[in-house]
Chains A and B, each alone.
Chain A
Amino acid sequence: MEVVLHLPVVPNVELVAAKAVETLGGALGMHQTRVEAASVAVVEACLNAMEHGGGPVTVRLRSKNEAARPCLVIEVEDHGKGFNPERAPQNSPSRILGRASKRGWGLTLIRELMDEVQIRSAPGKTLVYMCKYVESAP
């Protein structure tokens, strides 16, 4: 089972990806709370891809079952200039107040809300791989 979305850069298009996560996660039997966490993560990945990639975004969703631990795999790909994931800003809740900009939480949220995250980035292609285990409990 695989879903591939090619998203143009238009307002709120990230909700199309969130809806696909909701549908596929539900079909896999994933708990609603886990589906919602994956939905927020895909929204953040799409927003980052649109903001920094500058062009259309490809989202691929599929199920995977390795080591008897099924999961929903989500990949978000853009074709921007790329970045060094190790040098990406790491936000901390202790530093939220008093800063002029409160942005830059996307990667932190993705890493906290998903079970596995890998980022491969080079000029012309950035791929964010995310996995959420299919578990019936939250």
Chain B
Amino acid sequence: MNEEQIKLSKDLLADDIGLIAAAGYINNEGGQAIADAATDLMGEGATTLLIDLEGTRIINSIGVSILLEILEKLLDEQGRLAFCNLTPTISKTFEIMGLVQYAAVYPSREVARAALEGDATS
């Protein structure tokens, strides 16, 4: 298991909903890789970003601080940030650092998609 190297993929789920799937250690490099993917998706028109952390079991506060910067950037554009597939510890870390006050958390990608796409069409 190579936890150091983050594996990342990104996709547009709908015109304005971007998905980033990240598995691995979210440190400064992992966080920056996610931020770069977020910037790309926002450049393609995404105003809602869903970050799927299935396969991510360890994070550090530097990585989470970069996620906070993504959140700030999205809020500046009236966008939304959401997460899915968080371990209980990552969920608690996000809670301690205040991320969940501004970002939605869903148990799975399917539930997140249904909720976000439903919101987008309503």
Contacts and interface: CB of A to CB of B under 8 A. Distances in A.
B97 A33 contact: no
A97 B73 CA distance: 10
Contacts of A71: none
A38 to B, nearest CB: 9
A138 B91 CA distance: 13
A102 B60 contact: no
Interface stretch (B37-45, B63-71, B109-117): B63-71
B60 A40 contact: yes
B57 interface: yes
A44 interface: yes
B89 A12 contact: no
Contacts of B99: 93, 96
Contact of A18 (B58, B61, B65, B68): B58
A103 interface: yes
B62 A47 contact: yes
A105 B65 contact: yes
B89 A102 contact: no
Nearest to B100: A93
A109 interface: yes
A15 B88 CA distance: 19
Given A18-B58, A103-B61, A106-B61, A96 B4 contact: no
A59 interface: no
Interface string A77-116: 0000000000000011110111000110110110011000
Interface centre among B57, B61, B95 (most CB of A within 10 A): B61
B88 A33 contact: yes
A96 B95 CA distance: 12
A96 B98 contact: yes
B78 interface: no
30 contacts: A14-B60, A18-B58, A36-B58, A37-B89, A40-B60, A40-B89, A40-B93, A44-B61, A47-B60, A91-B97, A92-B98, A93-B95, A93-B98, A93-B101, A96-B98, A97-B68, A97-B71, A103-B61, A105-B61, A105-B65, A105-B96, A105-B97, A106-B61, A109-B61, A109-B93, A109-B97, A113-B89, A113-B92, A113-B93, A113-B96
Interface of B: 3-4, 25, 27, 57-62, 64-65, 68-69, 71-72, 75, 87-89, 92-93, 95-99, 101-102
